[in-house]
């Protein structure tokens, strides 16, 4: 362990850490019955969308919900050289009624039907823990933030070693645990953020699907290579953050079968 690191026993439980954070209404699926944006908020959302379309970030697309101004879907591609690479992570976003005075609400929809936590900041219930959203410690939201900055901040959570995103683990060097965690996320990215998304087990708009279909076919050979290179792990238990997921086993051969079926369907 590196000098200054913390042992697992000295790190406060995550639940204890989170209770110290301010309580916020984070879920865009649980908006108040009278949800509507102020005229100022509507103007700012239009500005944010215009800026996004003028200079879209690499690997990110958005699709506003028709007839529901202030709500939209976003798809973020897993960055290269991370365990998220090749995945399509779908988010549902609702701007706050007083935007930009308050941050938008964001929910991750790519969760394996609520079964997969894609890192310390991306919960299985869809919660995105990010300081500018008010759901994590650190620099808080300011009106100078925008839709683009929020999406880029979320994309940055998909890092090369997400194991160290956990509070207190920044200096707790554990290469084996980090590698095991990456292997789990890589597998679940293929299973949930590729297969589930392309099979439309996750709800999202058709215009995003059209983009994902093309990208899937472009990356198909890479997906198959990943399955072939990791098939020896099949049947072994996967690892969560510092614990073994006894009920979750690697199943690359099954994923490969799903990928082949999708390729045949889309070709």
- Per residue in 10-31, pLDDT tens? 333 444 334 444 445 899 999 9
Indicate which residues carry an active-site annotation. 129
pLDDT value of residue 166? 74
Q: In this structure, what token pair is assigned to residue 256?
A: 């490969």
Do 62 and 106 fall into the same domain? yes
Q: Does some domain include residue 93?
A: yes
Confidence tier at 86 by pLDDT (50, 70, 90)? very high
Token pair 């990010």 is found at 130
Do 143 and 70 fall into the same domain? yes
Buried b (16+ CB within 10 A) or exposed e, 30-50: ebeeeeebeeebeebbeebbe
Do 66 and 181 fall into the same domain? no
Domain that holds residue 187: 174-266
Counting the structural domains of the chain, the total is: 2
pLDDT in tens, 130-183: 999 999 888 999 999 999 999 999 999 999 999 888 766 666 667 888 999 999
Do 42 and 133 fall into the same domain? yes
Q: Collapsing DSSP states into helix, strand and coil, what is residue 225?
A: helix
Question: Is residue 264 scored above 70 in pLDDT?
Answer: yes
Q: In this structure, what token pair is assigned to residue 112?
A: 């394996």
Boundary (domain end) residue, out of 99, 134, 162: 162
Question: Is residue 51 scored above 90 in pLDDT?
Answer: yes
Q: Does some domain include residue 5?
A: no
Rg (CA), the chain: 19
Boundary (domain end) residue, out of 114, 134, 162: 162
Do 69 and 39 fall into the same domain? yes
Confidence tier at 247 by pLDDT (50, 70, 90)? low
DSSP 130-159: -GGGTSSSSS---TT--HHHHHHHHHHHS-
Q: In this structure, what token pair is assigned to residue 39?
A: 């005229």
Boundary (domain end) residue, out of 96, 129, 162: 162
Among 194, 1, 161, 197, CA closest to 81: 161
């Amino acid at each position: 362990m590196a000098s200054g690191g913390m042992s697992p026993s000295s790190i406060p439980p995550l639940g204890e850490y989170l209770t110290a954070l301010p309580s916020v209404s984070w879920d865009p699926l649980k908006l108040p019955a009278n949800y509507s944006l102020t005229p100022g908020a509507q103007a700012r959302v239009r500005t944010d969308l215009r800026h996004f379309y003028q200079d879209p970030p690499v690997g990110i697309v958005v699709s506003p919900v028709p007839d529901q101004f202030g709500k939209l879907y976003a798809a973020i591609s897993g960055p290269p050289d991370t365990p998220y690479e090749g995945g399509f992570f779908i988010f549902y976003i609702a701007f706050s009624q007083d935007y930009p005075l308050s941050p938008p609400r964001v929910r991750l929809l790519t969760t394996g039907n609520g079964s997969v936590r894609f890192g310390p900041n991306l919960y299985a219930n869809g919660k995105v823990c990010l300081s500018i959203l008010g759901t994590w410690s650190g620099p808080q939201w300011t009106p100078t933030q925008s839709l683009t900055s929020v999406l880029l901040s979320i994309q940055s959570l998909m890092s090369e070693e997400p194991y160290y995103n956990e509070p207190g683990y920044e200096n707790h060097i554990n290469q084996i645990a980090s590698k095991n965690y990456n292997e789990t996320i890589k597998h679940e990215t293929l299973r949930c953020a590729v297969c589930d998304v392309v099979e439309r087990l996750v709800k999202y708009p058709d215009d995003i699907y059209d983009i994902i279909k093309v990208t899937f076919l472009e990356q198909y050979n890479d997906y198959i290579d990943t399955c072939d290179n990791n098939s020896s792990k099949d049947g072994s238990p996967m690892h969560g953050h510092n614990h073994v997921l006894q009920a979750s086993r690697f199943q690359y051969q099954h994923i490969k079968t799903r990928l082949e079926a999708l390729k045949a369907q889309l070709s």
